[in-house]
Structure 1
Amino acid sequence: MELKREDFLAQYPPLYFLNKADVANIWDKEEIHLYVHIPYCAKKCGFCYYKSFPIGNAPIPDEYFEALKTEIEIYANMPEVQSKCLRSIYLGGGTPTLLSEKQIETLMMLIKSKFNFAVDYEFCSEARPGQETSLEKLRLLKALGMKRLSVGCQSTDDFVLESNGRNHNSKDFMDVFERARQTGIYCINVDIMSGMVNQSLESWLETVKTISDLKPENIAIYKLEIYLNNALYARYRKGNVRLISDAAEVEYARQGYGMLLDSGYRMADNFSFMLAPEYDHVHRREVWKGADMLGVGLSSHSCFNDYIYQNEPKLDDYMERLKRNELPVQRAHKITAREELIQRMVFGIKNLFFERAKFLEEFGVDVMDVFPEQLTSLEKQGFISIYPDHIRTSFEGAIFADDIVREFYMPEHRKTMLAHVKRPEN
Structure 2
Amino acid sequence: MRTTTSPNPSAAPGRWRRAGASLLGTAALVLAGLGTAAHANAAPTGSTATPSKVTWSATPCATPKHHGELACDSFRVTGGTTAFQKAQARRTGDTAQVTPKAAAASPTGYGPSDLQDAYGLTDAAADNGSGETIAIVDAYDDPNAEADLAKYRSYYGLSACTTANGCFKKVSQTGSTTSLPSADSGWAEEESLDLDMASAACPNCNILLVEAKSATMANLGTAVNRAVTLGAKYVSNSYGGSESSSDTSYDSSYFNHAGVAITVSAGDEGYGAEYPAASKYVTSVGGTALSSSSSTTRGWTEKVWNTSSTEGTGSGCSSYDAKPSWQTDTGCSKRTISDVSAVADPATGVSVYDSYGVTAGWYTFGGTSASAPIIAAVYALAGTPGSSDYPASYPYAYLGTSSLNDVTSGSNGTCSSSASYLCTAKSGYDGPTGVGTPEGIDAFTG
More helix as a share of residues: 1
Does TM, scored on the shorter chain, surpass 0.5? Answer: no
Return the structure number with greater relative CO, CA threshold 8 A, min gap 6: 2
Radius of gyration: which is bigger? 1
Q: Given the two structures, how large is their TM-score scaled by the length of structure 2?
A: 0.30
Q: Given the two structures, how large is their TM-score scaled by the length of structure 1?
A: 0.31
